[in-house]
Structure 1
Amino acid sequence: MDFEARVEMTSVPSGRVTLSDRRTQRSWSVELAPYELAAFPVTRALYGEVTGRAAAAEGDRLPVESVSWWDAVRFCNALSGREGFTPAYYLHGDGEGVEWDASADGYRLPTEAEWEHACRAGTSGPHYGPLDEIAWYRGNSHERVHDVGGKQPNAWGLHDMLGNVWDWCWDLYDFEVYGEYRVLRGGGWFDEHWSCRASARRRSHPTFRVDDVGFRVARSEVG
């Protein structure tokens, strides 16, 4: 199978991560068990092979974008089915609700805490390396998306955690204020440097699609 049409998963060690929100000035810590995270964002080639739907633009190694949170959830279940894993999500209907089966071994979206822990890879600053060396952002992207893996990975072998496309996460952003809006992490090719930080949080409606939002998949280590 070509690189573009397969998933390369990386083991992420257990740990503790502290998240923060500038809007509310709130911070909270999360303990994490070991899990797996894709080394690259889902590519257009992989997305097309799994869903049978061609991406809007050419470029098999480009990250898929203009996909909603719901698109990403359905992709995770489809990929699990293709590879013989138990789907992680039970969907009540298109946009009517979803449950996460934490005992399943299938693919899923990372939680926000898992995403930040993996992005930092043991570092504590805003970036896991010099931004121009690790990320495509407005300062160097020429305002377009780029092939995955074109910049240096972090210490745990994860590419494009910052820049290129935002990653959908599983979590609700703030249900009391924003309802069903879900968390986005990582910054994209059109963002200034201050949005491409390990701690930066963004939100969007789960039906939202735009050309700098994609996703990567995770898997729980089910014993």
Structure 2
Amino acid sequence: MIDVPGGPVTLNDRRTRSSWTVEVAPHLLAAHPLTQADHARTTGTEGGGRLPAHSLSWWDAVHYCNALSLREGFAPAYHLHDAGDDVPGGGITWDRDADGYRLPTEAEWEHACRAGTTGPRYGPLDDIAWHRDNSEERIHEVATRRPNPWGLYDMLGNIWEWCWDLYDPEVYGSYRVLKGGGWYDPHWSCRTSVRRRSHPTLRIEDVGLRLARTPRPQP
């Protein structure tokens, strides 16, 4: 896990032509997307290696976060309720005081991806990301491209990553935010500001997750 410093980040939505600024608190973020080996180790399923764990729904991601928290002795970040998947919130609440594993917020993700840079990407695309023009139309092992200035790999390209946030509940209900671009996406999708949406129950072959944590306050 990488210590990500706090700071402001401005998010943009191309569809609505809107922007908003969020003050991000310091947090921990995994240096690379969750691997198939780590996913299998926690869930007891088959699979392994350093390819990103993919075809995971948002619900799968949330359940995985709680399972890993319990395994490692942290307080689970999410509480599950008897609500349907098609309502805003999706039947899950986030305990923001918990120190367990969780999904990053969209603001946390974008702030970490930028790592103090101001351009559309934190480096030349071929150096930092697997995308349509260099991936040979397949997924690749994590951390094989150059990291950003804060030591985070694959923030762009290879797989899209689930965020905690609802995309636009008034229009899309329980759809959640995806960030980062994937191995089959063209160059214009692999930019820090690009946001995509998907229903929390869908499993898509180019979608995975990156773990975040809120550090326990020091006494």
Q: Distance in 2 between matches of 1:123 and 1:51?
A: 36
**How many residues matched?**
212
Most deviating of 93-102 and 33-42: 93-102
2:179 to 157, 182, 185: 185
Q: What is the Cα deviation at residue 52 of structure 1?
A: 1.4
Match of 1:3 in 2: none
1:9-45 per-residue CA deviation (whole Å, 9 max, x = no partner) reads 0000010000000000000000011000000100000
Percent of residue pairs identical: 67
Distance 1:211 1:198 in 2: 21
Matches within 5 A, 1:104-123: 104-123=98-117
| One-letter code aligned to 1:191 | D
Partner of 2:65: 76
For each residue in 1:123-150, what CA deviation from the matched residue of structure 2 results, as whole angstroms up to 9, or x when unmatched? 0111100000000000100000000000
Query: CA–CA distance in 2 between the matches of 1:134 and 1:41?
Result: 14
Shift of 1:51: 1.1
What are the ranges of 5 or more consecutive residues in structure 1 without an aligned counterpart? 1-8
Q: Distance in 2 between matches of 1:199 and 1:222?
A: 29
In structure 2, what is the equivalent of residue 5 of structure 1?
none
Of the structure 1 ranges 90-99 and 177-186, higher mean CA displacement relative to structure 2 is found in: 90-99
Matched residue type, 2:202: F
TM-score (norm 1): 0.93
Whichever residue aligns with residue 139 of structure 1, its letter is D
Q: Distance in 2 between matches of 1:177 and 1:222?
A: 36
**Superimposed CA distance per residue, residues 139-166 of structure 1 (whole angstroms, 9 cap, x where no aligned partner):** 1000000000000000000000000000
TM-score, structure 2 length as denominator? 0.95
Amino acid at match of 1:70: W
Please state whether the residue corresponding to 2:9 is helix, strand or coil: strand
Aligned residue number for residue 74 of structure 2? 85
Residue 46 in structure 1 maps to residue 38 in structure 2: yes
Equivalent in the alignment of 2:49:
60
Q: Distance in 2 between matches of 1:48 and 1:27?
A: 39
Give the whole-Å Cα distance in 1 for the aligned partners of 2:173 and 2:93.
Answer: 16
Structure 2: distance between partners of 1:191 and 1:222: 37
Looking at structure 2, the residues matched to 110 and 136 of structure 1 have their Cα atoms a distance apart, in angstroms, of 22
Look up the SS of the partner of 2:109 in the other structure: helix
Question: Who is 2:27 aligned against?
Answer: 35
Please state whether the residue corresponding to 2:81 is helix, strand or coil. Answer: strand
